[in-house]
Amino acid sequence: MQNRETEMSRRSFLGKTGGLAVLVVAGGVTTVFADSKQSEQIKKNPQAYDWSQHDYVYLVDTDKCIGCGSCVRACQKENHVPPHRFRTWVERYVVSHDGHTHIDSPDGARNGFPPVVSDYNVAKAFFVPKLCNHCTHTPCVQVCPVGASYRTKDGLILVDEKRCIGCGYCVQACPYGSRFIHPELHVASKCTLCYHRITKGMLPACVQSCPVQARMLGDRKKNGDKVAEIIATSKVVRVLKPELLTEPNCYYKNLSKEVY
């Protein structure tokens, strides 16, 4: 009786989502996919992707980033991000010898950066890509009144656009400024690490487009994964705002103290 009720509730859910979120049962694991094309492929071949076999992590090497903006442009094109909104962006830090720090990100660094004209002696300058940190203990999921923000079993934070009411609570709660309300859809929008790509074995658009390999995607459950190994063993890997105890899954290598 319980199995019959569960199956009926699943069918009811499928009927209400209109294809924007699809429930797939494979090997006893119930999976929610926000991408309709991805979902149709999984339904035809339930073994195509098993989210219980993945645990994604993201790594940025700030020593490599050149601030070219290729990642921002690739993200906007891949995910149809509206103008002047960003799922990922790049910040430039210019630090003087007396400790003053100037931070800018013109149009999210979509077109790179202009030369800096400052009235102080520059000690160092560097670029820092930013995106959703896909936290383990995330405030955005906790404050959502309708359960539209959720964490998947493979470690990503996603938004069910069908359920989202656009209240903006999650935008305010995110300590990393990685969410916005879509001006046309009126729902919360953010980086998904290109979930529709990585579940097919592809790289996120930002990672694939980076000309210097400053951005990297890893998988803790994949044997011999180099990115996961760097995160686990390197002494120069940090997270943003560790004092908040959100346990981000976006890591930074060689991050300068002016950032964290």
Residues 128 and 247 in one domain: yes
Residues 239 and 260 in one domain: yes
Question: What CATH number has the domain bearing residue 60?
Answer: 3.30.70.20
Domain housing 25: 1-49
CA distance 61 to 126: 11
CA distance 247 to 29: 25
Residues 38 and 165 in one domain: no
Q: Into how many domains does the chain fold?
A: 2
206-247 pLDDT per residue, tens: 999 999 999 999 999 999 999 999 999 999 999 999 999 999
Whether the CA torsion 249, 255, 259, 260 is positive or negative: it is positive
Give, in order, the Cα–Cα distances in Å from 52 to each of 22, 56, 114, 221.
17, 11, 44, 9
Residues 100 and 185 in one domain: yes
Residues 32 and 149 in one domain: no
Residues 44 and 117 in one domain: no
Residues 157 and 218 in one domain: yes
CA distance 223 to 149: 30
Could you report the average pLDDT of every consecutive run of 10 residues in the chain (260 residues)? 38 36 33 42 63 97 98 98 98 94 96 86 95 97 98 97 98 98 98 97 98 98 97 97 97 96
- The confidence score (pLDDT) of residue 120 equals 77
Residues 75 and 164 in one domain: yes
Give, in order, the Cα–Cα distances in Å from 105 to each of 69, 89, 111, 118, 210.
10, 8, 10, 16, 18
Helix, strand, or coil (residue 206)? helix
Strand partners, 57: 218
Residues 18 and 66 in one domain: no
Residues 29 and 84 in one domain: no
- The confidence score (pLDDT) of residue 244 equals 97
Residues 12 and 140 in one domain: no
- The confidence score (pLDDT) of residue 118 equals 74
Beta 250-253 vs 56-61: how paired, if at all? Answer: parallel
Residues 87 and 9 in one domain: no
